[in-house]
């Protein structure tokens, strides 16, 4: 209508009216073309854990639907093989070493909610960029990028200080001890055995005394029993306090549940995501759903327990898929599906760590290694899916290298936000590649770090599409073929537990995606050229790294009582203000 009025040649159309019209139409156009952004991130999900990525025994119909209606990224690379650095890179579009979120020690993730380090305030997340463009931004789920700096509630690293308007979730990560007492790792492994042994000894002693087999005086028997009971009480209290300290749920700046209740956490996460979409359906929104699934201990609700072919892990994957389905259904119901850029990925690969002779983590498909290793594909090659119906071709596959860091400039572009010019952004705006208007990814070299140590580099040759991987350092694996690091949950990055390769190991990832047969100057005539090109790229890359305060060094990553978030009177941190109960 406005357009008709204007074209109708209204001679009395004053410059002011014209200006107002232009401003209005611009506002209208930009606002209309800004898609919603829905980002879904699994925790520790392997490349081979989804139906659409070739798994024929796990049921993930909702994520498969996303792939069918969108584009599948088969070479989607995480900047690190562990949560804290990988998520930092995802949110900032920069290698974590640039923000001090790459560790120099063996503890390469935030070790608890009561430690100083975290995502520095002068880093800019894509949420901040989108917020500045009028988006309503929400984070639901896991954070794991720090919380406090100086007191138990200054929240200096909180999501609300990093571009999010709304936050609901666990500021730390899921741990075994967040489970109920029956299945906590503490009970099954460390503390409990002692408790059971002590209890058994006490019982034997008492029975022995009663039936006259033990000649100790009653006084002494009572004294021993008392000590034993105190020991058991101490252990249980220790577990309960530890659980409440490390497992908690925030809504914005308020702790609403401590310890978090896993029994209905999945339902509450879905409810929060659905309600965020419904509250914000009229204006552009960014919603980042960061699942606690499928991190060990893989707690599933009754609906999914024992229903998959792959034990507790499979149940958990299928439950997460169901959660994804509920969120997608909300987009459908509100008519937002075509106006929403939807993305699914995982932060890093499945863990290869064996517990009690069994691998509890995800399946990284044909790729070697997994979580916490520096360069092997299994830890950094993520299932990636993007759907934007009508814009991005449905049911397509993109084999070009892309990075989780690309989401930063890509969503900034969609929102019309300029990316910061005062720093290096390592991610690339991939919108042209996704829309199919260009065929080649701009990524030529990608660097694979283990903490602050560069372990490997990938070279995607622009001219011929060749794909090389050069490893300088690899973790020492168990000789049993399980691809598990030697006796450690997290693989070390340097020292005696890794192997330094000189000449480096070279693999042709197109011919040998499993990195099983290293090439030699005889088997690969260009061996020396490739190695020296990679070397050159590494040197150039390293020149762009400037020293920054490390957020994961020992003092920054050590628990401090005064930083412990606590709903109650420290050390007794218990509360439940959660109103969504199921
Ligand atoms: C499917 O995923 C499960 C669970 O991680 C895994 O055990 C299984 O090997 C996978 N199957 C295939 C064919 O990839
Ligand atoms: C959404 O996009 C798809 C693919 O282009 C199209 O077939 C469908 O009609 C669109 N739906 C709506 C409601 O516009
Ligand atoms: C953030 O501040 C630190 C010093 O505290 C500085 O070294 C770093 O360069 C700054 N980062 C950015 C992106 O400005």
CA of 49 to the centre of ligand 1 (A): 6
Sign of CA dihedral 515, 516, 521, 523: negative
CA 153 distance to own-chain centroid: 24
What pLDDT is attached to residue 196?
76
Query: Residue 61's pLDDT band (boundaries 50, 70, 90)?
Result: very high
Q: How close is the Cα of 536 to the center of ligand 2, in Å? A: 47
pLDDT of residue 184: 63
Atom of ligand 2 nearest to the CA of 335: 13
Residue 337 CA: nearest ligand 2 atom is 1
Cα(129) to ligand 2 centroid in Å equals 28
Residue 574 has pLDDT above 50, yes or no: yes
Quick one: what percent of the chain has pLDDT higher than 70?
92
The whole-number pLDDT of residue 188 equals: 53
219: confidence class by pLDDT, cuts 50, 70, 90: very high
Query: Nearest residue CA, atom 12 of ligand 3?
Result: 122
Residue 350 Cα to ligand 1 midpoint, Å, equals 11
The strand pairing partners of 168, in sequence order, are 140, 251
pLDDT reported for residue 482: 80
Residue 447: exposure state from Cβ atoms within 10 A (0-12, 13-18, ≥19): buried
Report, as an integer, the average pLDDT of 389-402: 98
Per-residue b/e over 61-95, b at no fewer than 16 CB within 10 Å?
Answer: ebbbbbbebbbbbbbbbbbbbbbbbbbbbbbbbbb
Q: Is residue 539 over pLDDT 70?
A: yes
Pocket of ligand 3 (CB under 6 A): 120, 122-123, 423, 548-549
Cα(537) to centroid(ligand 3), Å: 24
Q: Please name the residue whose Cα sits nearest to atom 2 of ligand 3.
A: 122
Is 22's pLDDT higher than 80?
Answer: no
Which tokens is 33 given? 């073309």
**What does the pLDDT read at residue 182?**
62
| 243-271: pLDDT as tens digits | 899 999 999 999 999 999 998 999 999 99
pLDDT tens for 446-461 read 999 999 999 999 999 9
The structure tokens listed for 456 are 């490997």
Q: What is the pLDDT of residue 3?
A: 38
The residue to mutate among 54, 55, 316, 365, having the most atoms of ligand 1 within 8 angstroms of its beta carbon, is 55
**Cis preceding-peptide flag for 112 (omega within 30 of 0):** no
**Residue 101: nearest ligand to its CA?**
3
Average pLDDT, the chain: 91
Closest ligand 2 atom to 338 CA: 1
Q: Which of 173, 177, 180 is nearest to 42 (CA)?
A: 173
Confidence grade of residue 181 (pLDDT, cut at 50, 70, 90): low
Q: Output the ligand 2 site: residues, CB below 6 A.
A: 338, 389-390
Provide the percentage of residues in the chain whose pLDDT is more than 90: 80
pLDDT of residue 189: 56
pLDDT of residue 190: 56
Complete edge-to-edge strand list for the sheet that includes strand 453-460: 445-450, 453-460, 467-475, 498-508
36 pLDDT exceeds 60? yes
Picking from 7-11, 88-92, 182-186, which range would have the lowest pLDDT averaged per residue?
7-11
Spatial CB neighbours of 168, under 8 Å, sequence gap ≥ 6 = 138, 139, 140, 141, 249, 250, 251, 252, 269, 272
- Per residue in 97-143, pLDDT (tens digit) is 999 999 999 999 999 999 999 999 999 999 999 999 999 999 999 99
Residue 15 has pLDDT above 60, yes or no: no
Residue 198 pLDDT grade (very low, low, confident, very high; cuts 50, 70, 90): confident
Among 85-94, 95-104, 203-212, 362-371, where is mean pLDDT lowest?
203-212
Place of tokens 């399946």: 363
Is the pLDDT reported for residue 26 higher than 70?
A: no
Ligand 3: residue whose CA is nearest its atom 10: 122
* Per-residue model confidence as pLDDT tens digits over 465-487: 999 999 999 999 988 778 899 87
Q: Which of 381, 384, 493, 492 is nearest to 434 (CA)?
A: 384
Using 50, 70 and 90 to split pLDDT, how confident is the model at 50? very high
- In the prediction, which pLDDT does 185 show? 59
pLDDT at residue 27, rounded to an integer: 44
- Catalytic annotation, residues: 83, 144
Closest CA to ligand 2's atom 14:
338
pLDDT (mean) for 495-500: 95
Alpha helices in 513-574 (DSSP H): 527-543
* The predicted structure's pLDDT at residue 216: 86
Residues of the chain by 3-state class (helix, strand, coil), percent to 5: 35, 15, 45
At residue 192, the pLDDT reads: 57
Q: Does residue 20 carry a pLDDT above 70?
A: no
Nearest-ligand number for the alpha carbon of 362:
1
| Ligand sitting nearest the alpha carbon of 51 | 1
pLDDT at residue 567 in the model: 96
List beta partners, residue 370. Answer: none
pTM: 0.91
CA distance 494 to 556: 20
* Atom nearest to 49 CA in ligand 1: 2
Atom number of ligand 3 nearest to Cα 123: 13
Q: Residue 545 pLDDT > 60, yes or no?
A: yes
Q: Is 487 or 167 the better-scoring residue by pLDDT?
A: 167
- Our answer on whether the CB atom of 55 is closer than 6 Å to any ligand 1 atom is yes
């Amino acid at each position: 209508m406005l357009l008709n009025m204007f074209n109708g040649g209204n001679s009395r159309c004053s410059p002011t009216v014209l200006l107002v019209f232009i401003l209005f139409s611009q506002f209208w156009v930009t606002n209309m073309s800004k898609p919603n952004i829905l980002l879904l991130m699994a925790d520790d999900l392997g490349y081979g854990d989804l139906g659409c990525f070739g798994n024929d025994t796990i049921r993930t119909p909702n994520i498969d639907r996303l792939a069918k209606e969108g584009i599948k990224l088969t070479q989607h690379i995480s900047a690190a093989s562990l949560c804290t650095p990988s998520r930092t890179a995802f949110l900032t579009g920069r290698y974590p070493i640039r923000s001090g979120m790459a560790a120099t020690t063996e503890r390469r993730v935030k070790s608890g909610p009561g430690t100083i380090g975290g995502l520095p305030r002068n880093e800019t997340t894509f949420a901040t960029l989108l917020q500045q463009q009028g988006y309503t931004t929400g984070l639901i789920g896991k954070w794991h990028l720090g919380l406090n700096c100086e007191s138990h509630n200054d929240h200096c690293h909180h999501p609300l200080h990093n571009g999010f308007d709304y936050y609901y979730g666990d500021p730390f990560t899921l741990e075994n001890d967040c489970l109920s007492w029956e299945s906590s790792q503490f009970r099954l492994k460390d503390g409990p055995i002692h408790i059971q042994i002590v209890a058994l000894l006490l019982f034997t002693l008492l029975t022995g005394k009663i039936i006259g087999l033990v000649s100790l005086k009653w006084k002494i028997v009572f004294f021993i029993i008392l000590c034993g009971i105190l020991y058991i009480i101490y252990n249980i209290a220790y577990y309960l306090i530890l659980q409440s300290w490390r497992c908690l749920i925030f809504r914005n700046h308020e702790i609403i549940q401590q310890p978090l209740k896993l029994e209905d956490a999945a339902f509450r996460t879905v409810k929060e995501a659905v309600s965020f979409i419904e509250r914000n359906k009229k204006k552009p929104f960014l919603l980042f759903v960061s699942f606690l699934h499928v991190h060990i201990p893989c707690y599933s609700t009754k609906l999914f327990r024992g229903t998959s072919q792959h034990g507790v892990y499979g149940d958990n994957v299928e439950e997460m898929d169901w959660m994804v389905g509920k969120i997608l259904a909300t987009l459908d119901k509100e008519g937002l599906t075509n106006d929403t850029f939807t993305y699914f990925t995982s932060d890093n690969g499945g863990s290869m760590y064996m517990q009690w002779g069994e691998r509890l983590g995800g399946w990284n498909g044909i790729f070697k290694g997994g979580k916490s290793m520096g360069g092997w594909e299994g830890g950094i090659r993520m299932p990636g899916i993007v759907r934007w119906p009508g814009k991005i071709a449905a049911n397509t596959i993109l084999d070009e290298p892309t990075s989780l860091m690309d989401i930063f400039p890509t969503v900034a572009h969609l929102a019309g936000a300029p990316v910061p010019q005062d720093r290096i952004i390592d991610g690339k705006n991939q919108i042209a590649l996704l829309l199919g208007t260009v065929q080649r990814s701009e990524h030529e070299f990608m660097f694979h770090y283990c903490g602050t140590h560069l372990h490997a580099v990938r070279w995607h040759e622009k001219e011929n599409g060749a794909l090389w991987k050069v490893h300088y350092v690899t973790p020492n694996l168990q000789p049993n073929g399980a691809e598990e690091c030697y006796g450690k949950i997290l693989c070390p990055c340097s020292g005696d537990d890794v192997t330094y390769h000189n000449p480096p190991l070279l693999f042709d990832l197109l011919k040998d995606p499993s990195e099983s047969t290293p090439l030699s100057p005889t088997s690969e005539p260009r061996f020396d050229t490739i190695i020296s090109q990679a070397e050159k790229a590494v040197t150039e890359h390293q020149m762009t790294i400037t020293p920054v305060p490390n957020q994961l060094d020992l003092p920054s990553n050590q628990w401090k009582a005064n930083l412990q978030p606590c709903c109650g009177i420290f050390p007794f941190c218990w509360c439940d203000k959660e109103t969504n109960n199921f």
